[in-house]
Amino acid sequence: MKFLGNLLASILGTLIALGILFMMFIVIAMAFGETEKVMVKGNTVLEIKLDALVKDYAPKGTNLLDEFFAFTDEKMGLNEIINAIENAKNDENIVGISINTIDVNAGVAQTQAIRNKLEEFKESGKFIMAYADVYNQKSYYLSSVADSIFMNPLGGIDFKGLSSEVLFFKDLQEKSGVKLEVIRHGKYKSAVEPFLYNKMSDENREQITTFLQSIWGELLADISKSRNKSIEELNTIADNLWARNATLAIENNIVDDAVYLDEYESKLKMASGILADDELSKITLSDYISTGKGRVTSTSANKIAVIYAQGEIIYGKGNEDLIGQELIIEALRKARKDKNVKAIVLRINSPGGSALASELIWRELEMTKKELPLVVSMGDLAASGGYYIACNADRIFAEPTTISGSIGVFGALPNMSKLAGDIGINAEQVSTNKSPNYSLFEPLTDEFRAVTTEGVEDIYTAFVARVSAGRNMSIEAVDNIAQGRVWSGVDAMKNGLVDELGNLDDAVKYAAELAAIVDYKVRNYPDYKIDLGDKLSGIPFMKTKEKALIEALGLDNYKTYQTIKQFSEIKGIQARMPFLLEIK
């Protein structure tokens, strides 16, 4: 007994000591965690690098643990980037902008929104210059807004047109004995196509070709204007890869010159009006935002609430990366209760997801619309469930390159009956009633398929009815453009799914008009709160799980893993857009 007593005392003492050490560690971290305040000096160049993940809304944590233990991944908020460029336009300490990024870790619509804001910045008369050792298509598209574009003499530009790749798993399922049983409505509902076929259907190829051409047309139109080249010339350059090296890129007026980074810095000094021997003052976009320039201030008491719905739609609470009905409903109710909120803008960036969660959010939006003007702003994606929660707004704005529509529904059930048979597993069931049941280890019965099909059809009917009422279109008209088909923002406006092409700022201004207010400030929702226990559950704490997997698998393989994992966790009938669709 004495031994056990001593052992328990030792364990308790160790735990107390560890706790004390941990608290001391935190105190020391707080003591040394104060960083020098960033100041914007006169004659400064704002440097834009977009290698960190760009999200529509990326609120910064105020907890020291977030920064010290790297509990959060690097990210930037699109709203802050846009505000920073707006502030830089009128900041007397900022003389110009330098775009220096090999990759743009943002969606096409997000990139276009940033580029449009840079176009506005040029109206101030300040310069924009761009440089990169190599450009991919997205970074070149962004950089093409510059007055002058430079590249490394041995660099290249990947300017070849857009493409998208879809992986198919039908043969893998047959070989492994594990498959997805799929019930869907919509001939274009390609979200589950990779599990049904081993090649792309004609309908899916048609819709992908259509919206890729629409998005490519938007990019070419912007580049054409900035580089003074016709769209036909740009397509010829893309067809023949006539920007693949510096010599060809200069000959075809894709860039202005090939220089090394030090020579580019000399050009920045000249544009800034300082001597070659003087030190060039630069500030990164993230540092500029940290000085408070990521906000547009107002003394008005009036507010426009911007509620961000970003990520896949799930049934439950949700978080910064997933749309759950609980957080969105809570945000809508908070906004309604605030007497200073005069209108609401719902910013959507979502491929869809849970049909039930989408319906619950739609219902709360219906109640909200009775009290306040409701405007939707679509980001990169507002498809399927993402469109479901958009369709009843007073006005819908989409970026030209937004991917929207995908009005369709499916159900998917994992089944491993073949694998079970191959390895000698036999499953027997006992039930009290005759109602059709589903077993992972037994083939899907006709009775259960019929019941599930009925559920899919019911939700599709409800989905089409919601769109019909929200868009003031007949059921037949909606069904003709539905069937799971995906549309670009441009085409969505042509067929009536969208009212107007514009960005988030346009949507906010329209909401203010509906509310009959001129002066206002923007209040962002939801409020994301994570307790200490949730944070500590991520140990080893020097890396997030996402960072560790990306390092182990590589970014492209991680995205494939993430998509397959999402499908394995699907619960209930889904309204979501095509499977693993990435534009390159």
Average pLDDT on 404-433 reads 86
Contact 102, 139 (CB under 8 A): yes
pLDDT of residue 64: 45
Q: Residue 542: pLDDT above 50?
A: no
**481/487 Cα distance (integer angstroms):** 9
Largest separation between any pair of C-alpha atoms in the chain: 89
Q: Residue 257: pLDDT above 60?
A: yes
Q: Residue 443: pLDDT above 60?
A: yes
* β pairing state of 395-398 and 127-132: unpaired
pLDDT of residue 533: 47
pLDDT of residue 418: 85
Contact 215, 162 (CB under 8 A): yes
Among 9-13, 356-360, 462-466, which is the least confidently predicted range?
Answer: 9-13
Architecture in CATH of 303-539: Alpha-Beta Complex (3.90)
pLDDT digit string, tens, across residues 302-351: 999 999 999 999 999 999 999 999 999 999 999 999 999 999 999 999 99
Average pLDDT on 418-427 reads 84
Task: Write down the pTM of the prediction.
Answer: 0.84
Average pLDDT on 378-393 reads 96
Selected residue with higher pLDDT from 494 and 578: 494
pLDDT of residue 539: 45
Is 170 considered catalytic here?
no
pLDDT of residue 207: 87
Contact 250, 256 (CB under 8 A): yes
Active-site entry in 226, 350, 384, 488: 384
Task: Report residue 36 as tokens.
Answer: 């020098």
Is 509 considered catalytic here?
no
* β pairing state of 179-185 and 409-415: antiparallel
Average pLDDT on 148-160 reads 97
pLDDT digit string, tens, across residues 408-420: 888 878 888 888 8
pLDDT of residue 532: 47
**195/171 Cα distance (integer angstroms):** 9
Query: Which residue from 559, 489, 562 is spatially nearest to 164, judged by alpha carbons?
Result: 559
Pick the CATH number of 44-160+241-293 from 3.40.190.10, 3.40.50.2000, 2.60.40.10, 3.90.226.10: 3.90.226.10
Average pLDDT on 244-251 reads 97
**79/84 Cα distance (integer angstroms):** 9
pLDDT of residue 165: 84
pLDDT of residue 69: 47
Q: Residue 578: pLDDT above 80?
A: no
pLDDT of residue 170: 83
Query: Which residue from 37, 40, 39 is spatially nearest to 88, judged by alpha carbons?
Result: 40
The ranges of the chain annotated as CATH 3.90.226.10 are 44-160+241-293, 303-539
Active-site entry in 138, 189, 269, 342: 189
Q: Residue 54: pLDDT above 90?
A: yes
pLDDT of residue 5: 59
Q: Residue 192: pLDDT above 60?
A: yes
Q: Residue 543: pLDDT above 50?
A: no
Among 116-120, 129-133, 473-477, 548-552, which is the least confidently predicted range?
Answer: 548-552
How would you class 425 by CB atoms within 10 Å of its CB: exposed for 0-12, middle for 13-18, buried for 19 or more? exposed
pLDDT of residue 17: 56
pLDDT of residue 68: 47
pLDDT of residue 121: 97
